Structure 1
Amino acid sequence: NLRNGDTLNKDWPTDEPYTFDAVVMNPPYSAKWSADTTFLDDSRFNRYGKLAPKSKADFAFLLHGFYHLKETGTMAIVLPHGVLFRGAAEGVIRQKLLEDGSIYAVIGMPANLFFGTSIPTTVIVLKKNRQTRDVLFIDASREFVKGKNQNKLSEENIQKILETYAERKDVEKYAHLATFDEIKENDYNLNIPRYVDTFEEEEPIDMVHVGNDIKKIRQEQQVLEKELLEAISSLQTTPENEAWLQGALEVFKHEQ
């Protein structure tokens, strides 16, 4: 069954199932909402101490979905990267989720995957009642096939993400399983580059080789200029081209 309504200002209808085995969300990014202080008494939000800001309802959507997740369920939500590192109220909510062990994985997705927006997004996976508080970070931002109007995930891209998620271990320049202490040392900032180093060191420049190439080019240039000067000098002078020939000769003589 489909239902249409404001899921933030009015919670799930009471005559519908209350919790679910899986929650999958792709809410409008950084949407506005009321953020009325009365929501601090709302059971979806009250245990986190702060409300998502009026101008960015991202965490309001996340907490709404998480509230309706079964104790043994799994939730995945697509959001902009800002939720991983923004401070103030969002930082307080994020810290509480991490302290509770609720955030299971953070997956950085490629830019330009969705219609209507080209920004890169992140998939945050959440679970309840975990025994550990580690978080798996996957940087899949380069796992895509470039399309005409938007990027796409190939079957190979998808399988790589799923296998890394299932194995839940470090993969060089792609994934890192961060301990809670590591996250705490980073002030609960979940920005993916803090945990997954994708830096590719450039090949060192062989200056001897470059110097030899420059020397060779200059020698070739001198040969060509000499040949061109000889060709110009051999041209017959006429009243029409005399000034041009004289100017050309002066240029090449000066260059030499």
Structure 2
Amino acid sequence: MSEEEKQQILKQTLWNIANDLRGNMDADDFRDYILGFIFYKYLSRKMELYANVILQPDGLDYGTVEQHPQAQELLEAIRYEALDKLGYFLKPSELFSELAKRGNSGNKNNFILGDLANVLTSIEQSTMGSESEDDFGNLFEDLDLTSSKLGKTEDAKNELIVKVLTHLEGIDFDLENSDSDILGDAYEYLIGQFASGAGKKAGEFYTPQQVSKILAQLVTTNKTKLKSVYDPTCGSGSLLLRVAKEVKEVGEFYGQESNPTTYNLCR
């Protein structure tokens, strides 16, 4: 599938989600909800890919490891490695794809609202005591699953969330492609299409990848290592990541961002 086709699928998916949410909340709110669920899907996919790499020598798949006779030992080993490499941990049953599948099961087990809230909390709790604890604190603070904006009843909220997860399940994050920036692309589109209620963009702009690349090459000219890199208006963090791709090593990353949702996207 070409980049253009992926972009078209992404935009259509985000538009469909926005239409589902539009009757319940204003543009700023549903943008934050969409980004929050994208965070979750992104972390899930990263976890799944990394776990499968660990399990490959044993011929196992992460999606079925909880049914393995030695499931507890395997999960503990993967958890240890994931916290060191990724900074967080998700069990197979906590992955985005699994909850989306359950929500669409069409039976009495398709109520996922409570489990979803527990999973989002579990992601943060999995980091406790590790070096990444501060990085993941309040990562999903904008995702209030108890909000009346999602529906008047628990069933109505669940139905809406299932719709959103189903739409997002169709997005390929293409994480194996180091040049792909689906998170950034989604952020750019959401800002452009679903602006604030006043009809403005609230001072938020996404730096296109081509511009980021030129800027990164300028500040890294004749350098292979940087002691630190700083962006005073870091937004989604794509410019900081682009600088890292232009050199062999960056000691520290620093950024400022006032919008909590965008700050979480950058993290």
TM-score by length of 2: 0.25
Larger radius of gyration: 1
Greater strand proportion: 1
Of Structure 1 and Structure 2, which has the larger fraction of its residues in helix? 2
Higher relative contact order (CA 8 A, sep 6+): 2
Q: TM-score, normalised by structure 1?
A: 0.26
